Amino acid sequence: MASVIDGFQRLGRALMLPIAVLPVAGLLLRLGQPDLLDVPMLAAAGNVIFDNLGLIFAIGVAVGLARENNGAAGLAGVVGFLVATKGAAVLLAVPPEVTAGLAQAAAEAAAKAYRDQQVSRLGVPIGVLSGLIAGLSYNRFSEIRLPPYLAFFGGRRFVPIATGCIGIVVAAAFGLAWPWLTRGVEALSHAVVGAGPWGLFVYGVLNRILIITGLHHILNNLAWFVIGEYHGATGDLHRFFAGDPNAGAFMSGFFPVMMFGLPGACLAMYHTARPERRAVAGGLLLSLALTSFLTGVTEPIEFTFMFLAPVLYAVHALLTGVAMALMHALGVHLGFGFSAGLFDYVLNFSKSTRPLWLLPIGAVYFGLYYALFRYGIVRFGLATPGREAEPVAVAPLAAPAGGRGGAFIAALGGAANLLNVDACTTRLRLTVADGAKVDEPALARLGARGVVRPAAGAVQVVLGPVADQVAVEIRRELRVPSSAPTAPVAAVPAAAGAAALELEPLLAALGGAANVAGVAAGAGRLLVRLHDAARIDAGALERVGVRGLALVAGAPAQLLVGEAAEPTCARLAARGIPAA
């Protein structure tokens, strides 16, 4: 069960990469409209992104899932998507009325347009599936070794080939099952829309609850990119920008909560803070409230009380569901390209239906959240920011000389403890060797608003919009050899008498001694510079005792070996292998 949850979390994280392009698409599309700048070129530039969401999801999901986010997986995603969509289109049966009475050339053009339009209805699901196949294929086949006469096609070059072959199977499955698939999507759309306010209430509640695990991205993708159709545009978000007057049901209810409700909760926390800490806590809470109000990014606020006061969080989830149902019942239709903040509200005001209703509803939500949170904090003595039992630094600490990435590495148990580092919009998503080594108070001093442990070895650190920047800095620090002057990486010294790995099997797994250009050790890792990384045998390395392998273009291969790093490096040096 844990592996299933971890798989969904990885998918949710990968989905955030293609979603990140939607704000610029929405911005260009709106600025180009006649009621704003009236520049058709800008509108066309934004619209082309929405028209090719399936392809964008294929690339983004593939890169997001691939080890080290390697771009070769993105190329494979394109191959898989094109093979699947074009292959499926050929298999679609064209109704006779589409080509009736047309000359041959016109009939062929009409049939092609019909097939393309039909395939575009499921473009995003096909894109996500193609990205999944490409990303997993990269992780499985990027180090494959073929016979010498086929060696050119080995390694990463094999990934698009494998993905294309699997894409043929996907094309056949979609093409032959198309009537049932389209009927299923239509039935789902009618069921959700037919559920009316109750369905939207459930969606709003689940959306907030699933934030705890990060799985809300999957639910959102179904609502925003699949459900409903309007002139070829599918999904609530795409339909809104295509001009569907009924779109926005799955977005409108977020605006009262994100722009008004949660800032009201922040004000309640400020007013209930201890007088001597109110100034410090106020700076933090003002920043969180402005982030929510302007951009709609709410997780930094939610993690201040999610685990501290689960009853309040349950109330927050219920009020989100109520807002979804209420806005729909009042006929208010709002939309966004990024999230439910002031920027999107103003930008899309003229495309919205009854947008001014947000102001009185938002005022009610502000007062409701303020009253509920103030009562809950005082009544139950909750240790919200500014009310902690012991003085705690609530503002981010300055990073040490080695940089912010090094400070996070140390707080996460050292470089040897980090097996994988990634990020979504607001969280670091990590795989660690030993979760007990993660220092949560140290992470809090670095600005973390919460730490989630969804499964064994999985850790999520809530940082807000800077999460991706921090992940880049951590990965950059991890690539630096131990001889470089970077203090923050917590080295793991070899224990007295620690055994080295067996050299002959290790060198064979690395493609032979002639393939090793240099070696260094530090932080529980062997840093091996290779002539040809494609010759690595990952399975053989695991049998030798290597616990993890990281390959980064242009950098030494990193072999996680723990205390065996230093003695193994010494024995390799004795064999005449130079320092990396």
Q: Are residues 422 and 275 in the same domain?
A: no
Residue 208 lies in a domain: no
Torsion of CA 408, 413, 415, 416, to 10 degrees: -170
Q: Are residues 306 and 276 in the same domain?
A: yes
More confident residue, 3 or 401: 3
Confidence of residue 25 (pLDDT cuts 50, 70, 90): confident
Q: Are residues 475 and 512 in the same domain?
A: no
Mutual orientation of helices 310-329 and 358-380 as an angle, nearest 10°? 160
Structural domain count of the chain: 4
Q: Are residues 33 and 169 in the same domain?
A: yes
Q: How far apart are CA 455 and CA 478, in angstroms?
A: 24
Q: Are residues 358 and 414 in the same domain?
A: no
Residue 36 lies in a domain: yes
Question: Domain range spanning residue 88?
Answer: 2-195+217-238
Q: Are residues 298 and 361 in the same domain?
A: yes
- Per residue in 499-546, pLDDT tens? 788 888 898 899 888 888 888 887 678 888 888 888 888 888 888 888
Q: Minimum mean pLDDT among 68-77, 320-329, 564-573: which range?
A: 564-573
pLDDT for 553? 62
Q: Minimum mean pLDDT among 13-17, 43-47, 156-160, 353-357: which range?
A: 13-17
Q: Give every CB contact of residue 363 below 8 A, 6+ residues apart in sequence.
A: 260
Q: Give every CB contact of residue 559 below 8 A, 6+ residues apart in sequence.
A: 525, 526, 527, 528, 541, 546, 548, 549
Residue 563, domain CATH: 3.30.1360.60
Residue 579 lies in a domain: no
pLDDT for 392? 43
Average pLDDT of span 490-507:
63
Q: Are residues 443 and 335 in the same domain?
A: no
More confident residue, 48 or 550: 48
In the chain, % of residues over pLDDT 70: 91
**Sheet of strand 418-423, all strands in order from the earlier edge strand to the far edge:** 418-423, 427-432, 458-462, 450-455
The residues assigned a catalytic role are 424
Confidence of residue 554 (pLDDT cuts 50, 70, 90): low
Residue 492 lies in a domain: no
pLDDT for 557? 85
H-helix or E-strand containing 325?
A: helix 310-329
Residue 398 lies in a domain: no
pLDDT for 522? 72
| DSSP 8-state assignment for residue 16 | H
The mean predicted confidence, pLDDT, of the chain is 85
Residue 249 lies in a domain: no
Q: Positive or negative CA dihedral for 560, 565, 568, 574? A: positive
Q: Are residues 268 and 157 in the same domain?
A: no
Q: Which two tokens stand for residue 319?
A: 């009020």
Q: Using DSSP, state whether 230 is helix, strand or coil.
A: strand
pLDDT at 395 over 70: no
pLDDT for 390? 54
Q: Are residues 368 and 433 in the same domain?
A: no
Average pLDDT of span 183-196:
77
Q: How far apart are CA 289 and CA 485, in angstroms?
A: 39
More confident residue, 248 or 15: 248
- Per residue in 65-112, pLDDT tens? 887 788 899 999 999 999 999 999 999 988 888 888 888 888 889 998
- In terms of average pLDDT, the best of 21-25, 168-172, 569-573 is 168-172
Q: Give every CB contact of residue 554 below 8 A, 6+ residues apart in sequence.
A: none
Residue 183 lies in a domain: yes
Q: Where are the alpha helices (DSSP H) in 149-277?
A: 158-176, 178-194, 196-210, 216-225, 236-241, 254-255, 262-271
Q: Are residues 29 and 60 in the same domain?
A: yes
Q: Check: pTM over 0.85? Answer yes or no.
A: no
Q: Are residues 6 and 152 in the same domain?
A: yes
Q: Are residues 55 and 185 in the same domain?
A: yes
Q: What is the number of other CB atoms lying within 10 angstroms of the CB of residue 32? A: 19
Residue 202 lies in a domain: no
